[in-house]
Amino acid sequence: MKEKLKNQKLLVLGVVFTILFNFPILSIVNHDTKINGIPTLYFYFFSIWVLFIIIIYWSVRNKEQEINKDE
C-alpha cells in the first residue's frame, strides 16, 4: 500500500511540474527583464528544476526512512 501511495505522489508531482514547463506558464515569465543579471526565463527553468529535484528527493527519502523503521 505504501508503495502505491509513493507512486501516486510521484505521478502527481510529475504532472504538476509538466504543467509548469508548458506554454501558458512559460509565456508569463518570458520577458526581457533580468533577475540579478539572469534572464527571467532561465531563472524560472533553473528554479523549477531544482525545486523538482528537492521535492522528489525529500519524498523518496522520507519513504525509505519509514520502510527502514518498520522492519
18-21: list long-range contacts, CB under 8 Å, 24+ apart. 20/48, 21/45, 21/48
Residue 40 and residue 34 in contact, taking contact as beta carbons nearer than 8 Å? yes
pLDDT digits (tens, 9 = 90+) for 10-66: 999 999 999 999 999 999 999 899 999 999 999 999 999 999 999 999 888 865 566
pLDDT at 1 > cutoff 70: no
